[in-house]
Chain A
Amino acid sequence: MPAGEEGLTGTLTPSLYLSPACGGGKSGGGDCQGRTNSASHVFEIFGIPSQALFSMLLLGAINGAFYAMMSLGLALIFGMLNIINFTHGAQYMMGAFAAWMLLNYAGMSYWAALILAPIAVAFSGLVLERLFLRHLYHLDHLYGFLLTFGVSLLIEGALREQYGVSGQPFQVPESLRGGVNVGFMFLPNYRLWVISASLTVCLAIWYVIERTRLGSYLRAGTENPVLVQAFGINIRRMITLTYMLGVGLAAFAGVLAAPIYQVSSIMGANIIPIIFAVVVIGGMGSIMGSIVTGFVLGLIEAFTKLIWPEASAVVIFVVMVAILLVRPQGLFGVRG
């Protein structure tokens, strides 16, 4: 092991880490794409170089798609069950962990995990709904909020106890590595995948809710459950399935996040305040509201990262307070 001098195992030769930008030295697999950004195309908009602006817009839209999908689950659950599902963050985290476990212990592929992990977590949601939430529907929102808050603490504490906080290794799957040069930046394939998957899922759900018969039952059930039950539709089962769907969406987002965000017990707690803000701004229970707001907020956040990076965490709340003052029911909410 030791070579020559005790302990020194390598040398800091320039070629080890500082080959000339592109074209020279060893490459680790052709990763010189997209490195050149022709300076001649860069112009400034309000003092911000166009290249930075466009990359910001693209990255913001991708994050926005992510937020949209997660808040969609929350909005669904609130609309149907009248429960403010604070556990959403923990369920997102469970999705990522479930995927990691499937990859690590069962040797499955990322794609298999993408289907199985949300299903597994959705079943945990079934348990939660049957055991606890069911008894809270008729009560004030705040009880559901507090209960799900408690459950999220339980889940996060348990996983932290077991796995620590540094996170688990999780790589981008082989088929999605690398990226494309879109002129103003290098876009990883994985991000392309994230935005396509999120958009597809969001639109699919929106379509089901707004345009299909099943969706109409759901919407009717939120307005008048007794009457819908009188028509012979099993409201209880619909409620449970809706909760499972919402939870499954959160877990799906978690699996999408696993390769690019740290898979750890605290990942849910970091994202949940943002998702809540999105849902509240969009109008709780409004599907389209969550989708649109998710995207817009993703863009606003990215923009803030460009011009005032330190404030990018708080800007969403400023927007939330501002919107709620002007339009109290949220952008797409209906005033009861």
Chain B
Amino acid sequence: MKNTTYKFLILLAIASTFTTACEDRIELDLPKGETLLVAQGWLTNEDRPHQFRLNYSQQYFDASIPPAVNDATVILRDSDGIESVLDETSPGIYTYPQGGEAGTAYQVEITLPDGKHYMSDFEELAEQVEIVDIRWRISSRGPSTLLDEDPDQIYEVVIDAFEPPGVGDFYRWRLIVNGVEKDLPQNLTISSDEFVDGNPIVNFEPFFELFFLGDTVTVIQERITSEAYNFLLLIQSQTAFVGGPFDTPPAPISGNVRNLADEKRNALGFIGTSGRSTATVIAGQ
């Protein structure tokens, strides 16, 4: 529901800028911030290699590829104390060859070549919640009169699931259309179970995306920790929901990777776990 709130705020913004509001790209001098380590990656229940990425932050207008952190020592540790040293399989990418197990917590310890030492908080890998069914349906929304579209060929995709009883579950959905993940800020979709706890979730449309006939649509439902949810919520509010009159003041987003020697210089980013369930449908078939 929290994301519904935000949707409302976006709509408010649309409404209030009904007539003549406009945005212009401008040139600006920005303060130059410090370069910090950025650490990220997810360990899921899927039996496949998992990648953890290390690189550095950049000046805001620097559009180059973020510099990779090479030759770090990266250790994945589980709550039973079992450690695995990860291989750097390509520059800045450290790979764990297998999946994680539900109910086990994981952390990553990073030592940079210059000796800086970081540790992520333990995150417990949650049991996945299955997508029971995935369907397409003809959309009643649109089509926009501005585009010459045939309304019969506009589809929405909905899923069914059973939300387990007990408040405190958090979800993220990923959308893959014809093999390409939609990964812009506005595609980031998360929710807590606060308002739907223990309910059958029927005809849930995680993305307000419309599809064409023959699109292969894959929805991945990830059950994440509350820490990951809060982190993603902030990412969302400071990247997807900006530019309206009702923006909240931006503020530092702290992740879960701590600098053990200097708490003011924690790493940016998040190393998390998720229990995944995947379902695919072809629109119109």
- Do A and B bind? no
Write the residues of chain B forming the contact surface with A, with a CB cutoff of 8 angstroms.
Answer: none
